Every structure is written in C-alpha cells, then in structure tokens.
Amino acid sequence: MTGPTGPSVRALFFDSPGDAVTALAEAVRTGAAAGEIRDGLGRMPAAGKDAVLAEVGRVADGILDMGVADMVEQGWNRYTALVDAATRSLANPGGRELVEMATHTATVDYRPSVEVHLADLPVAAVGMRALLEFTLRGLVGVVADGALTAIRAGTWECTGTLELAGQVIANRKGEVTMPAEIRFRRPIPLR
C-alpha cells in the first residue's frame, strides 16, 4: 500500500498484508519467541497460548505500517547543501529553495518490540528488526524557513532484511515506488 509518505515498511517485504500477517504469525508460533512466551504464560491452556501468539503476530504486523519516508527522515540535517539552503531560507521568510541532491544513501535500523504481559506482569518481549538501506537518486529537497519541508522523489532503491526474534522473515531488494512529492508531517529543522 502506498500513502502520502510512500509505501509502508510492510509493503517493502510482502506482496500483500495477508502474507505479512501469515509470515509473522508463523514466526511467532515456531521461533524462539514461542518458547519464551509459552513458558511465561505458565499453565494457561494451549488454546489461550495460541491466541496470545496470534495476537503478537498481529501487533508485529501493525508495527510495519510505518511509511518509508517516515523512516528516512532521519539524517537529513547532515546534508551540507540542505543546511546551507536552510541558512539562506531564514533570511527570506516564506520563500522556498530547491536543492538538487546527488545520490543519497540512507540506512535505517528500526528495532521495535512487542511486549507480552499477563496480569500486568511482563512475560516476554519479542524483538523485531527492519534493516533497510535506501539509495535515492535524482532527489530535490524543498527547504523553507530553515527546515526541510518536502522532497521531490527521483528513484528509490531498497535492500532490506526483516527479522522477528532473531529469525529472518523476509529479504527484499528492488525499486520503491514513491509519490512525486513527499511532504513531511513536521518540517525537519536544519538550522
């Protein structure tokens, strides 16, 4: 699924939302996390344990809803041409500067977790990891009032690995379809 900030992280790794839920639920039921969760749930009936494991898979899938552009927002303030444009834009309030950006590489190591509790006591924490490397070509940054407000997309290539509880769930490599212009929810201060 592609939204105003591009596809979700889920869409980078799976062809459909159903594929994601199935893969994550299977990983939770059969991987190292399953033993830890089952042990932590003690004498709970097997059907209850299975329901908890299925819910962990659904919650893990929900974490993957984050938009690609949201993840790539990190690190823009290290790009010298953008910082220079931000300085100039402060002298011209309301004006915009367009900054051509050569090839830009961004690596994102996203590590959320799903915590399982029983009667307010922690039972287990199931770690996830999405390691993504984006190569962005032909981008134009839109700078106004000292901040990066949008990027006009060129081509985005991505290589990624998705793990759940240390188990590799998916690997992908390919081009990412992004909107022509991505406006950030909040401008990214550069100065």
Please write the tens of the pLDDT for every residue from 30-89.
877 777 787 878 888 888 888 888 888 888 888 888 887 777 665 565 578 888 899 999
Can you tell me the mean pLDDT for 87-109? Answer: 86
How much of the chain, in percent, has pLDDT values that exceed 90?
14
Higher pLDDT, 168 or 81: 168
Q: Could you give the count of Cα atoms lying within 13 Å of 118 in the half-sphere of its Cβ?
A: 14
When pLDDT is cut at 50, 70 and 90, the band that residue 176 belongs to is: confident
- Report field, pTM of the whole predicted structure over 0.85: no
- Tokens in use for 157? 């290539």
When pLDDT is cut at 50, 70 and 90, the band that residue 171 belongs to is: very high
- Non-local CB neighbours of 5 within 8 Å, separated by 6+ positions: 67, 68, 69, 70, 179, 182, 185
Query: Residue 7 has what pLDDT?
Result: 83
Element (H, E) at 3: strand 2-3
Structural domain boundaries in the chain: 2-189
